[in-house]
């Protein structure tokens, strides 16, 4: 098996076989704006074949012992680690992130595989009495469709895949059409390790999602992406009452209290706002800063933005790469134009005169709720800094968003910080940090940021059917 990232031929995985697509499509390197590889593109018939292969594989896979499925996950983790350098380089080429971040993503994927290989699905005795014996079991669902976005195509796949497989399900995976290649290479790894049909990977040009999610043989959909698309998937799944897990958009707020030192916390705030060029669902998207430190905080953030080295993720010293695709680039440029009208750009805002989808990290001050850059998730390298005087008012404004993925509170008064954090209307809240995740920590949103949870035992349970046996004595 070759992992040459310059190869012009990639294959999909259907029924244990690496196959060509019914047609092809180009994959663009966002650092150049030019196609660098050709990707197979599946037809409806091939999507159906992938579902059928997963359906056929479900019986033999689901009856394996948990320990047998754990062993397969360990082998996958070992293989990902073995090829991590080549996978990371390919990921940078198609996604744009700096090579160090791409390597972190690939290594993190192996860590998620390895973590789930240690988990189990034991029976639980609910009651053992003279009247009855009640046992709770967790059984697999069947065929799972996983739809993965372009910001973390490998890691977010492995938010889903190890839990689904450990639970005894089989899968059809659809990567984003702008970042399919590393996922297809992962499919090559799967083809050498897993039984045929357990994992199938089909690539499309955003035209097979509705077919996959409505298919009667699919029992669950696990989707990460935008809220509007999640809403469509929910409607598509309703016809057959499929199980769904939706990890959707966020417009995460961070509230910084007046008792912090701006110079001390600014690097952490900046790093978790601009990681992956701001294209992180749980990045800081709205920064509420107390009036007493507002000017100093803006100055500290501006200095960090101005010092950031933006460039091709494969170039040494690059700290931030390009936006991932032209559509997102144009959207964020429009938001930048609007931000100039309602606020003051104190750093960044420039579009470098070079090929690719580059934008310098941008700090916008003197904006407030009601402005586009505050109310809507930018999903790019622009951070609005909003002034407040009353922490309770800042919390109210943070909670007013229809989104509720994550949030954070920063301050030295432990009692006040914890009080605010406990009342933040989000699925996840951090205190004096942001974007701290792991396979053992539940990950999920509130309100329009999602349904269900990933990671931890809670995430594993999402891929199972609760089964109760209630027996007479």
Active site residues: 247, 281
| Strands 362-367, 143-147: pairing kind | unpaired
Surface-to-core class of residue 24, CB atoms within 10 Å of its CB (0-12 exposed, 13-18 middle, 19+ buried): middle
d(CA 81, CA 414): 40
Residue 225 φ/ψ, nearest 5 degrees: 170, -155
Surface-to-core class of residue 317, CB atoms within 10 Å of its CB (0-12 exposed, 13-18 middle, 19+ buried): exposed
- Asked if 128 and 472 touch (Cβ cutoff 8 Å), the reply is no
d(CA 224, CA 160): 10
Kindly state the greatest CA–CA separation across the chain.
Answer: 79
d(CA 385, CA 383): 6
Tokens for 255?
Answer: 């509230």
Residue 23 DSSP SS3: strand
- Asked if 24 and 41 touch (Cβ cutoff 8 Å), the reply is yes
| Strands 143-147, 218-224: pairing kind | parallel
Tokens for 293?
Answer: 């430190």
Cα–Cα nearest to 179, from 223, 136, 149, 144? 149
- Asked if 378 and 372 touch (Cβ cutoff 8 Å), the reply is no
């Amino acid at each position: 098996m070759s992992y040459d990232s310059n190869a012009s031929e990639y294959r999909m995985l259907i029924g244990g076989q690496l196959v060509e697509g019914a047609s092809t499509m180009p994959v663009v390197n966002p650092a150049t704006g030019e196609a660098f590889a050709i990707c197979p593109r599946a037809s409806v018939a091939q999507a159906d074949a992938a579902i059928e292969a997963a359906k056929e594989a479900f019986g033999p896979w689901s009856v394996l012992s948990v320990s047998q499925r754990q062993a397969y996950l360990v082998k996958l983790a070992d293989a990902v680690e073995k090829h991590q350098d080549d996978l990371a380089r390919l990921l940078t080429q198609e996604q744009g992130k700096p090579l160090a971040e791409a390597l972190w993503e690939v290594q993190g994927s192996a860590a998620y595989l390895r973590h789930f290989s240690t988990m189990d699905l034991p029976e639980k005795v609910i009651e053992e009495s003279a009247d009855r014996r009640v046992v709770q079991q967790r059984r697999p669902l069947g065929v799972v469709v996983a739809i993965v976005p372009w910001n973390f195509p490998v890691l977010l796949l492995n938010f889903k895949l190890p839990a689904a497989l450990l639970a005894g399900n089989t899968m059809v995976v659809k990567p984003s059409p702008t970042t399919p290649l590393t996922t297809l290479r992962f499919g090559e790894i799967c083809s050498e390790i897993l039984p045929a049909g357990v994992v199938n990977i089909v690539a499309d040009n955003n035209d097979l999602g509705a077919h996959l999610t409505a298919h009667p043989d699919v029992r669950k959909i696990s989707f990460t992406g935008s809220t509007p698309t999640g809403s469509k998937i929910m409607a598509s799944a309703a016809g057959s009452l499929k199980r769904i897990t939706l990890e959707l958009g966020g417009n995460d707020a961070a509230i910084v209290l007046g008792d912090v030192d701006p110079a001390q916390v600014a690097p952490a705030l900046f790093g978790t706002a601009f990681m992956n060029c701001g294209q992180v669902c749980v990045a800081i998207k709205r920064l509420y800063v107390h009036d007493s430190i507002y000017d100093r905080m803006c100055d500290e953030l501006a200095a960090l933005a101005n010092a950031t080295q933006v460039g091709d993720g494969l170039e040494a010293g690059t700290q931030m790469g390009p936006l991932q695709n032209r559509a997102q680039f144009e959207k964020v440029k429009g938001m930048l134009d609007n931000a100039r009208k309602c606020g003051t750009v104190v750093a960044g805002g420039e579009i470098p005169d070079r090929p690719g989808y580059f934008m310098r990290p941008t700090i916008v001050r003197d904006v407030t709720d009601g402005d586009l850059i505050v109310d809507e998730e930018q999903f790019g390298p622009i951070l609005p800094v909003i002034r407040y005087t009353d922490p309770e008012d800042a919390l109210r404004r943070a909670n007013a968003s229809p989104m509720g993925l994550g949030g954070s509170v920063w301050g030295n008064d432990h009692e006040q910080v914890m009080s605010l954090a406990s009342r933040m209307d989000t699925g996840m809240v951090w205190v004096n940090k942001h974007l701290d995740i792991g396979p053992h920590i539940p990950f999920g949103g509130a309100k329009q940021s999602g349904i269900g949870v990933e990671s931890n035992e809670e995430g594993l349970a999402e891929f199972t059917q609760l089964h109760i046996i209630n027996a007479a004595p």
